[in-house]
Chain A
């Protein structure tokens, strides 16, 4: 869980830039560190995610992530 972790995808080319849209993606919390959590997306790729704004984020829980920040819990 460091800045060397690959950033989540953000395409400037035609495709789907979820950051520029109003779309959030579900990710599963794997580990929680001091400033951020490590979460995995649908493909299994790991991302650094700030979980300050959601109550109840814990390993195994699925959060809804937008622009590197969890904005809600998903089932």
Chain B
């Protein structure tokens, strides 16, 4: 496919690796965070890490929507799913995220009507086809996914589909990045920006990173050459003493974002005062809830939910992985007690999670030679 095949060219990839090497300052160690879980997945799927010299370290950020869901929210979802007559719908990976006792798949095995959907619009279709049942959609995701939920709720309201509602867990990417930049644990040299979030929100929300924290950001596509070129652009900024938001993914990301999507999101959602992120704790104004105009479609108002905060298992170090403080293989339970088949932590559940990416592509320990 056009603009896919060209960005997987191995010869060009090796040439870019050479250019990256040429930008390095002797003796300097570079830490670059890829914010988005989709980038983490691509980096290990295509072996990009192996093309980089030892002193360029990729740190995996909090941009995997499944990985940041706290256990208490999973418990809330399970509680709704167990209500008599409810059809509970969610995306595929969400089914396997552990709550305090069970996953949604466990709840399904125990008799709850839990169904996997590809789109919130599929959940709305199920609601139309089952007018005598309550159909609930468990919404997760960053600004890439929030427009699809917003559009679905707008249609539900227009068509007056009264048996449809939504548990809203949508989160926004800027507040956790600010929290990470404020963290004394972590020193980062630059960011690979989340290309598809930026398709919706544009480049402007990331300008605080160079302005307030003096770190470059390069918004990146998801093909291997996109990521290599973005790393090269970050290193070029650093060696030239520049610091700004650059857009490598110009073929898709407009600087101002998708104004139609932003408009429907602002109509349907409003910011929560605070929201708990797995491993990161409570972060102010970092998540979305339904606006008053859509309150009738809010499943948290329609059903009793426990709303109880649940501490992560002691063995689980997802928090440190999500903050990039440790590598997945440095976690005590990585690949032993915690595997994709029996995940303890959320980072092992989704293929976009750093732990699952390492596990699935055989990165059990860092054994790399300099390029």
Contacts and interface: CB of A to CB of B under 8 A. Distances in A.
Contacts of A55: 260
Contacts of B141: 20, 22, 67
B194 interface: yes
Interface string B109-153: 000000011111110010000000000000011101101100100
Contacts of B38: 18, 21-23
Given A10-B116, A67-B118, A20 B194 contact: no
Contacts of A53: 147, 151, 258, 260-261, 264
B4 A42 contact: yes
B36 A22 contact: yes
Nearest to B199: A72
A17 B92 contact: yes
A14 B360 contact: yes
Interface in B72-105: 91-96, 105
A22 B145 contact: yes
Given A8-B118, A12-B95, A20-B352, A71 B147 contact: yes
A16 to B, nearest CB: 5
B215 interface: no
Interface in A4-60: 7-12, 14-24, 26, 42, 50, 52-55
Nearest to A49: B119
B41 interface: yes
B366 to A, nearest CB: 22
A64 B196 contact: yes
B260 A69 contact: no
B174 to A, nearest CB: 14
Contact of B340 (A14, A50, A74): A14
Contacts of A54: 258, 260
Nearest to B154: A52
B200 interface: yes
B314 interface: no
A10 B90 CA distance: 11
Interface of A: 3, 7-12, 14-24, 26, 42, 50, 52-55, 62, 64, 66-69, 71-75
Interface of B: 1-4, 36-38, 41, 63-66, 91-96, 105, 116-122, 125, 140-142, 144-145, 147-148, 151, 194, 196-197, 199-200, 222, 251-254, 258, 260-261, 264, 340, 350-352, 356, 360
